[in-house]
Structure 1
Amino acid sequence: MAKKDKAKTSKHIKCEIRYDSNPLAVYRPGDTVNGNVELTLGKNKKFRGVCLRINGFASTYWDAKVKNGSTNNKKRKTSFKGREDYFNTISYLVGSDVGNPLEVVAGSYSYPFSCVIPTNAPASMEGKCGHIRYLVQLTLERPWKHDIVYLAPFTVRGESDLNLLSGTLSLPSKAEIVTSFYFGLSDPLVVTATTPRSGYAPGEAIELVIHVNNQSSVDVKTIMIKLQRVVTFVSQVPWTEHFVENTVLEERNTGKIGRRHNARFEENILIGGGVPTNDSLCRIIFTKYEIEIVVHPVRSRKRPTIRLPIVLGTVGLASSNVYPDLVIQKQREAFAEYAPSAPPATTSDQMENSPPAYYELQQNVAGTSQVYSISSNMTLDEAAEDESEKGSEPYTPRDY
């Protein structure tokens, strides 16, 4: 059913936008969107035109304070915007955009519509400073008064086969950082993080191993591990600017590592459904994933950080099905307590074999972290961490 704008509706008009054989309105690139607009008028109405628009687009927007010229330090508020269209079909069911008003008699009217989604269309997504949306919009145009608008969004599910890049995504990933304290006078703290590969699909687990060689005289309170989505929004006006939004999908904390101690931590982080990695289909919104590892030493402002890039696809690597017995057991433990709810009834095959939403997995999966060779149990001061989660946008594409 169409989503109505309360400020632009009429009690004498009823409009429903239905998708044929696809009540969930979830499509893939290359699919054809078919449906009907059911318009009912309770009495005769005048319109210049009845316009049906089907479009897909990306939009970015945010406000920021920038310097007002180079001669002073004053700042002014500036709005940054960007837009990219993927397809836009417009047809007038009644009248036109320049004609005289026409009177449409009371009654019920049905208008079929059809549109092909481009094969290179990016996946639907919503962010703090932008979105990628696909809409069917019916507008009852009245130049002497505000238009009446009805919207029915549909979701485009991205397709990404990791096997097309298996040569790089199947290789092990490694990052290391070496830190010293007291102006370089202490022995080093060396932290190394590895994963067996960098490409993953929903339902798989990231096997992260962290080695800590703390030869310094400073204790490490904890190491914070985050799986996060990193979305970069790009503006086009008034000039090119970037805004980066980080969303933490999963967070873990290790135990303490004392001075002159070594430790080994193993974390199995389950991957849920989400927007696939997109760094080429859209020119103003880029979606990437990474594992961020932040070391928190005691009584030091230093925060050594490691980042391991992760590529999220919809079709996993063929080689990822070959696991040692230990890894298979970890996967079984991760899914042991997960019991997905039954999906809504549908006659469409668009949602077959769709992975569960990320939040469902994380709420139902048992903890999968393991720690080896933990350092001495020393009493350390706990530092408070303040992490705030921003609210979501009113319209969110369906999880898949």
Structure 2
Amino acid sequence: MIFDKLKKFDIVFDSPEVDCPPVYSSGDVVSGRVVLELSGESRVDSLKLHAEGFAKVHWTESRSAGSSTAYTQNYGDEVEYLNRREVLLQADNGEVTVLPAGKHEFPFSFQLPEETLVTSFEGKHGSIRYWVKVKLHRPWATVRKIKKEFTVIEPIDINTPALLAPQAGTKDKMARAWYRSFGQVSVTAKIDRKGYTPGEVIPVFAEFDNSTSRSVVPKAFIIQTQTFIARGTMKQKRSVVATLCGDIVGAKRRETWHGRAIKIPPVGPSILQCRIIKVEYMLKVCVDVPGTSKLCLELPLVIGTIPLHPFGSRTSSVSSQYSVNLEWLRMAIPEQPEPPPDYSSVVTEEEAEQRHNAVASQQAEDLSGILERPLMAFVQEFRFRPPPVYSEIDPNPQPINMRPRCMTC
């Protein structure tokens, strides 16, 4: 039987670089070969290839229908981006093909759709995946299957007017504890532009005016928000991917940041064009006020793939374009940085509840317009995953890119 004679069954993608998986974009040609290695003469009915690409979301929520009744509600949806089939080996007259012992290669090639695809992604409640599946049919034998994923990255060029525009804002708050007022705290912040690429440093210009009778602590965070949408309902996961800690601002004092640096770690690009999955980023400048809730100012960010003033223009192969621009996939993590805090340490329970209620009240509106706020990349597999909460993995994790914690934070 061919099952016993099949020594190797593999899919190999053509790549311009040795030992470097290719990266594709919409309109690119995906090519490669299916490799069969046989220890003896074997009979084959057919060898068929199926290329697919889907965005899928799924999660469950527990519901209560009374004191003694409970049930689980399932939410799920999917969007198809690719569906191509190709026959690599099959006799025209329907008879079997006899393959001699040795190595056999069957080339394949297909073009990705010209319309914009969505960047590959792996999240807690959903994923965006592209793969090639090959089935080997033999007489009187079980069908052998093999599946191999490939990566799609849709370019986001930050050299556009919308992403080069400065982002700024001002916010103030009266610091109170119970019925006592301690005075007002205000924060004004600005960044040079909205679009950045992984590895870049964002200079934060900010002014903190502390008119209270207590000292306050300014901080800044880069936050990633993953949004999953199904059946008119949303599920969100937020993670802090970078943090910046400032010096204490004493009572009745003012502190100014003249371009304090916060570096973007090797996260995946923003995903804004998918109907059911979005990945967005924001810069959050906060002031910790003892005895009361935080004062936070949010500035939207877009994490792109084509850096400022890129070299050359886009070619037919996104792999060649990203020879310079995908350095974020290979960036080394600096030594001894500070791990980012959990999202719960940045946002209080009160703020989280207010945000949840605000989101729930908007579910009846057009979902494409309600998400206006802006994955660690696995270098080996070129698949993006969200930066996990460290406590979920290891009590002594290796931290991601951070500046050392100041003594006052």
The equivalent of 1:112 in structure 2 is: 107
Please state how far the C-alpha of 1:94 moved relative to its aligned partner: 5.0
Please state how far the C-alpha of 1:122 moved relative to its aligned partner: 1.4
Please state how far the C-alpha of 1:351 moved relative to its aligned partner: 4.1
Decide whether the 8 Å contact of 2:228 with 2:236 is kept in 1. yes
Residue 151 of structure 2 corresponds to residue 155 of structure 1? yes
Please state how far the C-alpha of 1:297 moved relative to its aligned partner: 2.1
Gaps of 5+ in 2: 311-318, 339-343, 347-374, 385-409
Gaps of 5+ in 1: 1-8, 320-347, 368-384
CA separation of 1:255 and 1:60: change in aligned 2, threshold 3 A: same
Decide whether the 8 Å contact of 1:273 with 1:356 is kept in 2. no
Decide whether the 8 Å contact of 2:306 with 2:325 is kept in 1. no
Q: 3-state SS of the aligned residue for 1:352?
A: helix
Partner Cα separation in structure 1 for residue 60 and residue 379 of structure 2: 19
Determine which of 224, 242, 256 is the counterpart of 1:250: 242
- Letter of the 1:37 partner, please give it: V
Determine which of 160, 171, 174 is the counterpart of 1:176: 171
Please state how far the C-alpha of 1:82 moved relative to its aligned partner: 1.9
Partner Cα separation in structure 2 for residue 143 and residue 128 of structure 1: 42
Q: 3-state SS of the aligned residue for 1:353?
A: helix
Q: 3-state SS of the aligned residue for 2:323?
A: coil
- Letter of the 1:352 partner, please give it: S
CA separation of 1:80 and 1:361: change in aligned 2, threshold 3 A: same
Please state how far the C-alpha of 1:246 moved relative to its aligned partner: 2.2
Partner Cα separation in structure 2 for residue 46 and residue 64 of structure 1: 50
Please state how far the C-alpha of 1:133 moved relative to its aligned partner: 1.5
Residue 34 of structure 2 corresponds to residue 26 of structure 1? no
- Letter of the 2:73 partner, please give it: T
Determine which of 184, 205, 211 is the counterpart of 2:207: 211
Please give the per-residue CA displacement for 1:126-164, whole angstroms capped at 9, x wherever unaligned. 222222122111133689987533122211222112333
CA separation of 1:200 and 1:106: change in aligned 2, threshold 3 A: same
The more displaced of 141-150 and 116-125 is 141-150
Q: Which aligned pairs between 1:60-209 and structure 2 lie closer than 5 A?
A: 60-67=57-64, 69=65, 71-72=66-67, 74-93=69-88, 107=101, 108-119=103-114, 120-140=116-136, 147-164=143-160, 166-167=161-162, 169-182=164-177, 183=179, 185-209=181-205
Decide whether the 8 Å contact of 2:31 with 2:108 is kept in 1. yes
The equivalent of 1:312 in structure 2 is: 303
Q: Which aligned pairs between 1:273-284 and structure 2 lie closer than 5 A?
A: 273-280=266-273, 282-284=274-276
Please give the per-residue CA displacement for 1:86-111, whole angstroms capped at 9, x wherever unaligned. 11112344569xxx996865644322
Q: 3-state SS of the aligned residue for 1:257?
A: coil
Residue 343 of structure 2 corresponds to residue 349 of structure 1? no
Partner Cα separation in structure 2 for residue 49 and residue 240 of structure 1: 43
- Letter of the 1:397 partner, please give it: F
CA separation of 1:358 and 1:188: change in aligned 2, threshold 3 A: farther
Partner Cα separation in structure 2 for residue 172 and residue 386 of structure 1: 25
Please state how far the C-alpha of 1:48 moved relative to its aligned partner: 7.1
Partner Cα separation in structure 1 for residue 139 and residue 63 of structure 2: 38
Decide whether the 8 Å contact of 1:161 with 1:315 is kept in 2. yes
CA RMSD of aligned residues (A): 3.9
Partner Cα separation in structure 2 for residue 42 and residue 12 of structure 1: 6
Partner Cα separation in structure 2 for residue 34 and residue 172 of structure 1: 42
The equivalent of 1:223 in structure 2 is: 218
Determine which of 43, 47, 57 is the counterpart of 2:54: 57
Please state how far the C-alpha of 1:38 moved relative to its aligned partner: 0.9
Partner Cα separation in structure 2 for residue 292 and residue 62 of structure 1: 28
TM-score, normalising length from structure 2? 0.68
Decide whether the 8 Å contact of 2:53 with 2:130 is kept in 1. yes
Q: 3-state SS of the aligned residue for 2:182?
A: coil
Determine which of 280, 289, 293 is the counterpart of 2:281: 289
Partner Cα separation in structure 1 for residue 285 and residue 140 of structure 2: 59
CA separation of 1:127 and 1:141: change in aligned 2, threshold 3 A: farther
Residue 256 of structure 2 corresponds to residue 264 of structure 1? yes
Partner Cα separation in structure 2 for residue 78 and residue 145 of structure 1: 41
Please state how far the C-alpha of 1:114 moved relative to its aligned partner: 0.9
Partner Cα separation in structure 1 for residue 61 and residue 297 of structure 2: 29
- Letter of the 1:228 partner, please give it: I
Decide whether the 8 Å contact of 1:126 with 1:397 is kept in 2. no
Partner Cα separation in structure 1 for residue 71 and residue 37 of structure 2: 49
Decide whether the 8 Å contact of 2:266 with 2:331 is kept in 1. no
TM-score, normalising length from structure 1? 0.70
Q: 3-state SS of the aligned residue for 2:181?
A: coil
CA separation of 1:224 and 1:142: change in aligned 2, threshold 3 A: farther
Decide whether the 8 Å contact of 1:195 with 1:207 is kept in 2. yes
Partner Cα separation in structure 1 for residue 170 and residue 7 of structure 2: 61
Please state how far the C-alpha of 1:289 moved relative to its aligned partner: 1.1
The more displaced of 119-128 and 358-367 is 358-367
CA separation of 1:167 and 1:154: change in aligned 2, threshold 3 A: closer
Please state how far the C-alpha of 1:188 moved relative to its aligned partner: 1.0
Please give the per-residue CA displacement for 1:194-214, whole angstroms capped at 9, x wherever unaligned. 212212234532111221111
- Letter of the 1:207 partner, please give it: P
CA separation of 1:241 and 1:44: change in aligned 2, threshold 3 A: farther
CA separation of 1:395 and 1:240: change in aligned 2, threshold 3 A: farther
Q: 3-state SS of the aligned residue for 2:331?
A: helix
